[in-house]
A = this chain, B = another copy of it.
Amino acid sequence: MKVKQIMDNEFIAVTADMDIVDASIKMEAHKKFTTPVLDDDNKLIGWITSLDVTRGFRENHKKVKDIMHTTEDIVQVHEDDPSRIAVLAASKHKVVSIPVLNTKGEVVGVVRTVDIVQTLSKLYEIKVYKIFDAVLQELKGVSWDELMEASAIVTKRETGERITGKDYEQRIKEATSGEAIWATGGLEKFFVGFFAIGELVIARKIAKARK
């Protein structure tokens, strides 16, 4: 996934000569805490946040150019960068939004942490049974019931809990991978659990084939 697929291209922008009163009205109307400052060619020349505006009001500044940050202080990404670059930049610099540039240096969008959270949580929030479904496609010759039974055995082995394949199926019916990852204590452990199931089910499949 590229930055351009997660960016907001309905972003707002202001100019350096704009009155800060007008900039604040625009930012409030669109509920944006930050906005790029563009020149006539849509090139990035600055950046303001609503905190720069409150300071501007208090200190009696008039124009956007009096309160803006200049480009060397602005975290930026390219529209064709992998979207994880934007995620890492937001995480590292702790900014709520990042301007996105094209090869001409024009601003074509803004990546916001709220959008990143939405994208990441969607990625996490896939249903666990969908992963089992995909795995079943891969493990040709194993039935859904055999997979559930193996999962119940691994659960018993790891938690001491005595559950049946049907119980396990019920349990994962509504569970999402997000819940499972948080519950098991991280992606790594989630994988190991899945592999334990895989190992058992594959061993059983091979044993059956040899009979």
Contact = CB atoms under 8 A, between A and B. Distances in A.
Contact of A191 (B88, B120, B134): B134
Nearest to A1: B182
* Number of this chain's copies in the complex: 2
A124 B182 contact: no
Contacts of A131: 187-188, 191
Interface stretch (A27-35, A37-45, A71-79, A160-168): A27-35
Nearest to A57: B57
Interface of A is mostly: helix
Q: Pick the 6 closest A-B CB pairs, nearest first.
A: A50-B50, A113-B113, A24-B54, A57-B57, A91-B118, A91-B121
Interface of A: 1, 21, 24-25, 27-28, 31, 33, 49-51, 53-55, 57-58, 82-84, 87-88, 90-91, 94-96, 113-114, 116-118, 120-126, 130-131, 134-135, 137-139, 177-179, 181-182, 186-189, 191-192, 194-196, 198-199, 202-203, 206
